[in-house]
Structure 1
Amino acid sequence: MDPLVEIWQLALLAVAGVAAGFLNVMAGGGSLLTVPIMLFMGVPGPVANGTNRIAILAQNITAATTFFRRGYSEFRLSLSLAACAIPGAVVGALLGTELEGVWFSRTVAVIMLGVMVIMAFDNGKQEHVSSPPTRKQLWWGHVLMVGVGFYGGFIQLGVGFIIMPVLHRVMGFDLVRTNMHKVFIVASYTAVALVVFASRVEMLWLLGAVLALGNSIGGWIATRAQISKGQGLIRKVLNVVLVIFIIKLIFFP
């Protein structure tokens, strides 16, 4: 990639970052906007995969801080879940630095097919849960979080569609608290994955900084919106995003 990035490219990334940050915090899949744009700009797969983590980290720190300031925090549980995700993220990031070319695109396609299957079985009946998770739910949630961390460290794209069923369906959190834990966990393992990528591939820090600004703004908007609007808004956005990705995957691969 030419080191002289044009202004329109930075502007495009900033706008895409706002949309991606909103989607990532609200539901998931925002990286399916930003990573393809970087690929279109000529950024190699592993570099785009790593540079995207800069924005993901900034976005989730912003969202977690906003949740905390609005009175939503369960740091002890968030920390224990994040601690389980981090080892998986390290292994996943090491593999992710080697994924490039056609295999990067094929992996994204397979991942989205898996997302479609997962979401098809989420019938949405569990809307309001006030009781804390049982010991069995906590155990399964922590075990599955290792896999979530591996996936997030490996490629990150659509990780919201993976972590949300674990927190919402397995652990029984309502959707607002699901996202509260999600942003903390993703921020934690992304910090580690970012170090791995930075040590093994070329990082485009300028592009990452522009994306980070956009993602942070989008994440801040999404956090405030879901706290005030509740689960109904989250589920609507989730369903719309899923439909768009399904159409893209089937008709515009």
Structure 2
Amino acid sequence: MPEITITDYIILAFAGLLAGFVDSIAGGGGIITVPALMAVGIPPHFALGTNKLQASFGSFTASAHYIRKNLANLRDCIAGVLFTAIGAALGTWTVQQISPAFLQAAIPLMLVAIFLYLIFSPDFGTLDKHPVMHTQAFYFTAGLALGFYDGFFGPGVGSFWTFVFVLLMGMNLRTATAHTKIMNFTSNIISLVVFIAGGHVLFTAGLIMAIGQLIGATAGSHLVITRGVKFVRIFFLTVVALTIIKLIYDTYLAPAL
């Protein structure tokens, strides 16, 4: 394990702040923090585990803020929390046994499809609509699948959650963002516990990043509440686009260089 310098810790704290801000609005903070952790020489499994530690602080802060502002009701999310927790535990256990590399080819393509759908559906998420799926069935399916994905790999999971909340549960983008953070916190904390059990968490680095996460998540969730759906849509599209670019570069371009 390489020695982490004071300069490295400052970089990680700033990465946590920026990620907390982005993640609380549109998800995608992992595309900032995981590369930052690996850039200071932390091995992949430790980077993933430490990332879950700092991300738990940000997602908890954003979730609590949204619940206090009545954008989400925790009681209504119990089924989602349960199935997301199960999926995240299975995904995190699995990723510690094998490499997540094979997912890297499929995820950018799925995000491209979401991005194009949003571009050509300007009214997507602007108004509440009737759900097209029963709540319990939705949480069973989405919770297990996206919980597993977040525990196993993770990039873009916030975008996937927000998208399915709007598409299948009829929420507007602001309400979908609030519910997404509750699911994100669930998968983060469960995944963290499994990573700790596997000995893949660096607590000092994670807690220093968490300070930045707390500040960024507070600022970001405040903007979601005050700026409304249009702001969330623009930010969401931007984050999805950047996530696509990052994953395509990591998967297809970087290996060829």
TM-score normalised by length of structure 1: 0.89
Q: How far apart, CA to CA, are the structure 1 residues paired with 2:56 and 2:27? A: 14
SS of corresponding position for 1:98: coil
Change (3 A) 1:158 1:99: farther
Once the two structures are superposed, the pairs formed by residues 132-171 of structure 1 within 5 Å of their partners are 133=131, 136-142=133-139, 143-171=141-169
SS of corresponding position for 1:121: helix
Q: How far apart, CA to CA, are the structure 2 residues paired with 1:139 and 1:121? A: 26
**Contact 1:55-1:216 within 8 A present in 2 as well:** no
Q: Which amino acid aligns with 1:66?
A: H
Once the two structures are superposed, the pairs formed by residues 99-178 of structure 1 within 5 Å of their partners are 99-100=98-99, 104=101, 107-108=103-104, 110-122=106-118, 123-130=121-128, 133=131, 136-142=133-139, 143-178=141-176
Aligned position for 2:34: 35
Q: Which amino acid aligns with 2:70?
A: G
Aligned position for 1:209: 207
Q: Deviations over 1:152-206 (max 9, x none)?
A: 1112222112111111111111111111111112112221111111111331101
Q: How far apart, CA to CA, are the structure 2 residues paired with 1:98 and 1:80? A: 28
Aligned position for 1:243: 241
- In the TM superposition, residue 112 of structure 1 has moved relative to its aligned partner by 2.7
- In the TM superposition, residue 237 of structure 1 has moved relative to its aligned partner by 0.9
Aligned position for 2:194: 196
Q: Deviations over 1:116-172 (max 9, x none)?
A: 2233233342333346646x3424421222101111111222211211111111111
Q: How far apart, CA to CA, are the structure 1 residues paired with 2:42 and 2:103? A: 17
Change (3 A) 1:125 1:137: farther
Q: How far apart, CA to CA, are the structure 2 residues paired with 1:132 and 1:65? A: 26
**Contact 1:79-1:185 within 8 A present in 2 as well:** no
**Contact 1:27-1:237 within 8 A present in 2 as well:** yes
Q: How many residues align?
A: 248
Q: Deviations over 1:10-56 (max 9, x none)?
A: 11111111111111111121111110111122211111111100111
Q: Which amino acid aligns with 1:121?
A: Y
Q: How far apart, CA to CA, are the structure 2 residues paired with 1:108 and 1:48? A: 17
- RMSD of Structure 2 on Structure 1 (CA): 2.1
Aligned position for 2:227: 229
Q: How far apart, CA to CA, are the structure 2 residues paired with 1:141 and 1:115? A: 20
Q: How far apart, CA to CA, are the structure 1 residues paired with 2:233 and 2:25? A: 9
Structure 2 counterpart of 1:218, from 212, 216, 228? 216
**Contact 1:116-1:246 within 8 A present in 2 as well:** yes
**Contact 2:52-2:192 within 8 A present in 1 as well:** yes
SS of corresponding position for 1:80: helix
Q: How far apart, CA to CA, are the structure 1 residues paired with 2:195 and 2:25? A: 26
Q: How far apart, CA to CA, are the structure 1 residues paired with 2:39 and 2:98? A: 17
- In the TM superposition, residue 250 of structure 1 has moved relative to its aligned partner by 4.7
Q: How far apart, CA to CA, are the structure 2 residues paired with 1:37 and 1:109? A: 22
Segments of structure 1 that go 5 or more residues without pairing to the other structure are: none
Segments of structure 2 that go 5 or more residues without pairing to the other structure are: none
SS of corresponding position for 1:43: coil
Q: How far apart, CA to CA, are the structure 2 residues paired with 1:242 and 1:167? A: 16
**Contact 2:72-2:178 within 8 A present in 1 as well:** yes
Q: How far apart, CA to CA, are the structure 2 residues paired with 1:243 and 1:188? A: 25
Q: Which amino acid aligns with 2:49?
A: G
Between the aligned residues of both structures, percent identity stands at: 27
